[in-house]
A and B are shown apart, each in its own frame.
Chain A
Amino acid sequence: MTDNTITLSVARYRPEQDSEPHFQDYEIPYREDWVVLDALNYIKDYVDDSVTYRWSCRMGVCGSCGTMVNGEPKLTCATFLREYYPNPVRVEPLNNFGVVRDLVVDLDDFMAKLTAVKPYIVRDDEKPVEEGEYRQTPEELAEYKQFSLCINCMLCYSACPVYGLEGGFIGPAALALAHRYNLDSRDKGNDERAHVIASSEGIWECTFVGECSVVCPKNVDPAAAIQRTKVATTQSWFKSILMPWAGR
């Protein structure tokens, strides 16, 4: 134990009283094994219970604690204070999202986009439960596994300037999840997703800045998923023009 302290600069926005967000500084004890979320919880419990933020699992699985830490999108549960100490830590709501209160951002837009790409297994016809599960080989699983690790933390949206500039963009996580289901051997939903993914709000909006994949805490690599979808869509487009008899 030491008596060292660290300053947390927390963005505050209380819509009933603030017209603009502003920073509030909290000087709190510094512990080497604390993550930013521990510091926020300390503030909430002992200093100022009005600070509002989301969190749940504390172990990088639930995806609810995404926050800008010194300008970088991070999970507060996986970002240690010691990476910044003795410098102050600046905590802000995720970039590119509407701010509801303090560090809490508006999820509605992301949820609508997630729903639009049908991130679940689509079947032409469901077989009865008695016939058992849809089986898959390890190789078939390996095809999409990386893209299935997304925890919907939205750090990728926060890092994506295209999403920041054009709010209509379906965005990295949703497009990566669409790719994940399109690659799944059990899924038959390719066509149902195509008009969403290959719309002008979908893959074509992306200019491959690549930051989504850099900030992803689960190494999902949404940028690769989007570019691969572009390649596949372009190939089938040229094929349909050059060989119309070959079917869609």
Chain B
Amino acid sequence: MERHDQSQGPKIHRPEMSPTWWLKKRSYFLFMMRELSSVFVAAFALLLLYELFLLSKGPEVYGLFQESLRRPGFILFYVVAFVFSVYHTVTWFQAAAKIQVVKLGSWTMPGWMMTAGALVAWAILSGAIAGYFLAA
């Protein structure tokens, strides 16, 4: 699709971007995957809310739902959602390191160090949450 500006002077050629622009370059594709990760994160959040709602309906209903989570469809969804959520975590801390400047005196902390630090904090936190739910 093209349009030509012929109002005045020579006509200027103005190409338009196709809706598949993000498939044409690796970095654009990864950007779109980063944005897509939010869809899976949101889907999980809504599913968790539904699960809490079922918790109010008593042990049978809640138990049935817990049971249904073993179905291959659900497992597949959770595997994909888990991969995307980790991708979100990694890209988020990479992005944050580019935005936030940490200075100690005249020394500026390099971005990779901030990302690594955030990932370590994330791992510890995840371990603590898992520990909390594992503790009987």
Q: Which residues of A contact B (CB under 8 A)?
A: 13, 15-16, 20-21, 71, 96, 98-101, 106, 161, 164-165, 207-211, 213-214, 221, 223-224, 227-228, 231
Contacts and interface: CB of A to CB of B under 8 A. Distances in A.
29 contacts: A15-B11, A15-B12, A15-B13, A20-B2, A20-B13, A21-B13, A98-B13, A98-B14, A99-B12, A99-B13, A99-B14, A99-B15, A100-B10, A100-B12, A106-B12, A161-B22, A161-B28, A164-B17, A165-B17, A165-B21, A207-B35, A208-B95, A209-B27, A210-B98, A211-B28, A214-B27, A224-B98, A227-B95, A227-B99
A98 B27 contact: no
B31 interface: yes
B89 to A, nearest CB: 16
B95 to A, nearest CB: 6
B28 A209 contact: yes
A231 B11 CA distance: 41
Interface string B88-114: 000000010011000000000000000
B99 A13 contact: no
Given A161-B28, A210-B95, A227-B98, 12 more contacts: A15-B12, A99-B14, A100-B10, A106-B12, A161-B17, A161-B22, A165-B17, A209-B28, A209-B31, A210-B27, A213-B98, A214-B27
Contact of B31 (A164, A210, A227): A210
B55 to A, nearest CB: 34
Contacts of A16: 10
Interface residues of B, number: 19
Contacts of B27: 209-211, 214
A209 B35 CA distance: 10
A11 B5 CA distance: 19
B31 A231 contact: no
A89 B99 CA distance: 36
Contacts of A165: 17, 21
A193 B5 CA distance: 31
A94 to B, nearest CB: 11
A137 B128 CA distance: 47
B126 to A, nearest CB: 25
Interface string B47-88: 000000000000000000000000000000000000000000
A100 B12 CA distance: 5
Contact of A15 (B10, B17, B31): B10
Most buried by A among B13, B28, B31, B35: B13
Contacts of B35: 207
A110 to B, nearest CB: 14
Nearest to B5: A98
Contact of B98 (A21, A101, A207, A223): A223
Interface in B1-56: 2, 5, 10-15, 17, 21-22, 25, 27-28, 31, 35
